[in-house]
């Protein structure tokens, strides 16, 4: 973002320009006005100074018939100024130094540059590289270009580089001459991998840890031939997008042509699984870094997001040309989870189609700097696909095709119930059968067809969950048939609606409202959820037992064992335990205190 205001004074033999404004909300101005005057051979720019964000750039030069030359001096100039010419380049750091360039008419150019960059880094959407100090010296003569570089981090030299292009041809412009000239270059680096990796701008994965690089380059800039090797024995590979965390990464690679070939790769996943493989990285210059990796996962946790996670075994591929890419695979899901309803946040972010009108016809459309990675994964789970959320706590088997992108995945296929439970209004029910159908659309919003059973005295009750993951439809049925509110009262409280206390009636009304898609005041259930309880109720006073109005809090220790604590805050307390032997046989025990101790055990059976 920029906001610039300028003023020009134009005369027959001179132009004076002054300007000020902001770039990226930081001030920029011409502290010394730019004065361009006519000479006998052309135009001359008198020294002009631009100040920006505490740094400065001084420019001077001459454009004429006999020669052209430019002089520039920088003092702690922020490299973010380059974003004006290269959208979202993201370079950080302060440059100090000088540059000179001269080209006589009809002759080859010459020049030199001496730059010192403090804190060179590159920032993307989610990552920033570790700052490193860089020194660069460049010398250009009519027949050669030579450069030397030095990299320093934390007061220690971590890398050196040098390059020589000679002889430079006589035909064409400077860029074409440099691209065609014989090349000899060397790079030696021993430091952290993220310092180099994050400068590439690839953010789908982040590579860190110690790495050593030794590379020699020959050929030409247009067609480099690289030889050398890369090695690391304790690196890390992380992905903020997928949640993947690989540690103890060991890799051996060699440079070949314009590629880095990884012969051996091994890493440990955060859950103790492993990933092995091989592949290659292709250096495409300004187009970015391409990759073609073939990996083999063995019980490795490679996906760990809030809405979906997976521990997998099987082949996995990563392919990219430098702008986006594709993750493919044919995987067995050893253990995975999907949380219902989490896709709602994605659905609330609309994607707007923007059409520009009155746009300049000669304006070049810049490519998108961040292209989402696509998914093309076939996944199978014999079991241990855990589906939670919206009251479900269940295990499934599935055969799924995962597509879309890593930031907005799609799922197509079918899942069938193995076992599980469903919680409604504080009561847990056993699932009997279920199917979840994924339609391959985004956001992920599967169709539900799930049945659960409820154990209720004197009747058989079933719960059906239909609809979709974002908008489930819950219905109740019973034999013999009962009105919905009466059936809910029997299921939730084990008694008729006519016997409910006022707080229990409030909970029942809220449950009925939720089935009808309505909200409702339900403070008791809100407290129950916050406390992590399975049941929370208020019990009316019983003067015959010396018990005041009490609060009862219950929790299922196992699927069949339920414990409830009761207290009135005035000396009365009780503990009740229920163990369900079968669907119709339960053991109940109670211990109460009110200046005395008592206990009883009861066996109950529903007929």
The 10s digit of each residue's pLDDT in 572-581 is: 788 888 777 6
Going by the DSSP 8-state scheme, the letter that residue 11 receives in this structure is: E
Quote the number of domains for the chain.
1
What pLDDT is attached to residue 144? 95
Q: What is the dihedral of CA 379, 383, 385, 388, to 10 degrees?
A: 160
Residue 469 lies in a domain: no
Chain centroid to CA 530: how far? Answer: 29
Could you tell me which residue, 351 or 467, shows the higher pLDDT?
A: 467
Tell me the average pLDDT across 144-150: 96
Q: 202 lies in a domain?
A: no
Contact 236, 251 (CB under 8 A): no
Report phi then psi at 87, rounded to 5: -60, 130
What's the pLDDT at 123?
74
For residue 524, is it within any domain? Answer: no
C-alpha distances out from residue 549 to 316, 377, 508, 591, Å: 62, 58, 20, 18
CA nearest neighbour of 28 among 92, 78, 69, 93: 78
Q: How high is the pLDDT of residue 95? A: 95
Q: Which residue has the higher pLDDT, 274 or 427?
A: 274
User: Given this model, what pLDDT does residue 163 score?
Assistant: 97
Domain for residue 267, yes or no? no
Mean per-residue pLDDT, 520-530: 54
pLDDT at site 367: 42
Arithmetic mean of pLDDT, 276-288: 81
Query: Quick one: what percent of the chain has pLDDT higher than 90?
Result: 36
Report how far residue 6's alpha carbon sits from residue 224's, in angstroms, rounded to the nearest whole number: 45
The residues near 500 (Cβ < 8 Å, ≥ 6 apart) are 489, 493, 508
- Separation of alpha carbons 510 and 212, rounded Å: 64
Could you tell me the pLDDT band of residue 124, with boundaries at 50, 70 and 90? low
Q: What is the CA radius of gyration of the chain?
A: 35
Inter-residue contact 149 to 161 (CB < 8 Å) = yes
559: pLDDT confidence band, cut at 50, 70 and 90? low
As a whole number of angstroms, the distance between CA 476 and CA 497 comes to 16
Which burial class, exposed, middle or buried, applies to 434 when counting CB atoms under 10 A from its CB (0-12, 13-18, 19+)? buried
* pLDDT at residue 408 tops 50: yes
Predicted TM-score (pTM) of the model is 0.65
Query: What's the confidence (pLDDT) of residue 311?
Result: 95
Q: What is the mean pLDDT of the chain?
A: 82
Amino acid 507: pLDDT: 67
Establish if 508 belongs to a structural domain.
Answer: no
| Domain span at 565 | 533-607
CA angle 223, 229, 232 (to 5 degrees): 135
Q: Which of 524, 539, 600 is nearest to 572 (CA)?
A: 539
Structure tokens at 113: 């540059």
- DSSP assignment string, 134-159: EEEEEEEETTEEEEEEEEEETTEEEE
Among the residue ranges 95-109, 383-397, 494-508, the one predicted with the least confidence is 494-508
Tell whether the model's pLDDT for residue 61 goes beyond 60. Answer: yes
pLDDT tens digits, 210-269: 999 999 999 988 888 899 999 999 999 988 777 889 999 999 999 988 889 999 999 999
* pLDDT value of position 126: 57
Residue 569 within a domain: yes
Residue 559 lies in a domain: yes
Nearest Cα to Cα of residue 474 among 436, 522, 423, 430: 423
Task: List the beta bridge partners of residue 322.
Answer: none
User: How far is Cα 515 from Cα 270, in angstroms, rounded to an integer?
Assistant: 41
pLDDT for position 107: 85
With contact defined as beta carbons under 8 Å apart, do 334 and 314 qualify? Answer: no
Query: Which pLDDT band, with edges at 50, 70 and 90, does 138 fall under?
Result: very high
158-215 pLDDT per residue, tens: 999 999 999 998 888 888 899 899 999 999 999 988 888 877 767 777 888 999 999 9
**Averaged pLDDT for residues 260-279:** 94
Q: In the structure, what pLDDT confidence band is assigned to residue 417 with cuts at 50, 70 and 90?
A: very high
- Least confident segment among 167-181, 342-356, 443-457: 342-356
**Given this model, what pLDDT does residue 502 score?**
62
Please indicate, yes or no, if residue 256 is contained in any of the structural domains. no
Contacts 24+ apart (CB under 8 A), 140-145: 140/101, 140/109, 140/110, 140/111, 140/112, 141/110, 142/107, 142/108, 142/110, 142/168, 143/108, 143/167, 143/168, 144/168, 145/178, 145/181
Which helix or strand (DSSP H or E) is residue 207 part of? Answer: strand 206-208
From 370, 247, 239, select the one nearest 309 (Cα to Cα).
239
User: Residues 392, 398, 404, 405: is their CA dihedral positive or negative?
Assistant: positive
Instruction: Please give the average per-residue pLDDT across 124-144, as a whole number.
Output: 85
Residue-wise pLDDT for 64-97, tens only, equals 877 899 999 999 999 888 877 666 677 889 999 9
Confidence band of 527 (pLDDT split at 50, 70, 90): low
Q: Which helix (H) or strand (E) holds 506?
A: helix 502-515
Residue 51 in this model has a pLDDT that exceeds 70: yes
- Residue 412 has a pLDDT of 94
> What element of type H or E holds 511?
helix 502-515
């Amino acid at each position: 973002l920029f906001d610039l205001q300028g003023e020009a004074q134009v005369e027959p033999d001179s132009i004076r320009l002054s300007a000020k404004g902001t770039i990226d909300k930081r001030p920029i101005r011409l502290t010394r006005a730019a004065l361009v005057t006519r000479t006998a051979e052309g135009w001359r720019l008198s020294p002009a100074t631009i100040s920006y964000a505490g740094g400065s750039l001084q420019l001077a030069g001459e454009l004429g018939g006999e020669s052209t030359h430019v002089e520039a001096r920088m003092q702690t100039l922020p490299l973010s100024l380059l974003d004006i010419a290269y959208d979202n380049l993201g370079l950080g750091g302060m440059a100090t130094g000088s540059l000179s360039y001269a080209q006589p008419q009809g002759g080859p150019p010459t020049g030199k540059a001496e730059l010192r960059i403090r804190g060179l880094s590159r920032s993307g959407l989610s990552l920033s590289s570790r700052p490193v100090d860089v020194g660069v010296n460049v010398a250009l003569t009519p027949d050669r270009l030579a450069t030397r570089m030095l990299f320093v981090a934390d007061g220690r030299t971590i890398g050196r580089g040098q390059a020589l292009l000679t002889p430079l041809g006589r035909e064409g412009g400077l860029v074409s001459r440099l691209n065609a000239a014989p090349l000899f270059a060397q790079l030696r680096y021993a430091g952290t991998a993220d310092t180099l990796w994050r400068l590439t701008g690839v953010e789908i994965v982040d590579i860190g840890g110690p790495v050593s690089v030794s590379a020699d380059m020959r050929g030409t800039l247009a067609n480099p031939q690289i030889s050398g090797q890369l090695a690391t024995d304790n690196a890390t590979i992380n992905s903020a997008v997928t949640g993947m965390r690989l540690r103890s990464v060991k890799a051996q690679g060699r440079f070949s042509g314009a590629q880095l070939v990884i012969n051996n790769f091994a890493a440990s996943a955060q859950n103790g699984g492993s990933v092995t493989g091989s592949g290659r990285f292709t250096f495409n210059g300004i187009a970015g870094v391409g990759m073609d990796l073939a990996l083999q996962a063995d019980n490795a946790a490679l996906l760990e997001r809030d809405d979906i996670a997976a521990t997998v075994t099987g082949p996995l591929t990563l392919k990219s040309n430098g702008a986006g890419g594709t993750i493919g695979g044919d995987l067995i899901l050893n253990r995975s989870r999907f949380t219902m309803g989490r896709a709602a946040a994605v659905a609330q972010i609309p994607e707007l189609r923007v059409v520009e009108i009155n746009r300049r016809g000669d304006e070049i459309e810049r490519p998108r700097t961040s292209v989402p990675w696509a998914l093309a994964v076939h996944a199978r789970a014999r079991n241990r696909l855990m589906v939670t959320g919206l009251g479900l706590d269940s295990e499934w088997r599935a055969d799924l095709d995962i597509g879309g992108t890593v930031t907005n995945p799609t799922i197509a296929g079918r899942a069938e119930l193995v076992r599980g439970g469903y919680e409604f209004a504080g009561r847990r029910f056993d699932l009997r059968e279920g199917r979840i159908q994924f339609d391959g659309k985004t956001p992920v919003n599967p169709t539900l067809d799930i049945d659960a059973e409820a154990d209720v005295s004197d009747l058989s009750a079933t719960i059906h969950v239909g609809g979709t993951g974002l908008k489930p439809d819950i219905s109740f049925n019973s034999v013999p048939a009962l009105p919905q509110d009466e059936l809910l009262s029997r299921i939730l409280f084990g008694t008729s609606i006519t016997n409910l206390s006022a707080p229990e009636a409030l909970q029942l009304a809220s449950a009925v409202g939720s089935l009808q898609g309505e909200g409702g005041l339900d403070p008791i259930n809100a407290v129950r959820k916050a406390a992590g309880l399975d049941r929370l109720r208020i019990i009316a006073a019983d003067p015959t037992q010396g018990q005041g109005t009490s609060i009862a809090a219950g929790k299922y220790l196992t699927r069949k064992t339920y414990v409830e604590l009761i207290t009135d805050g005035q000396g009365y307390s009780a503990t009740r335990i229920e163990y369900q032997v079968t669907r119709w046989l339960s053991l109940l025990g109670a211990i109460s205190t009110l200046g005395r101790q008592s206990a009883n055990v009861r066996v109950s059976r529903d007929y």
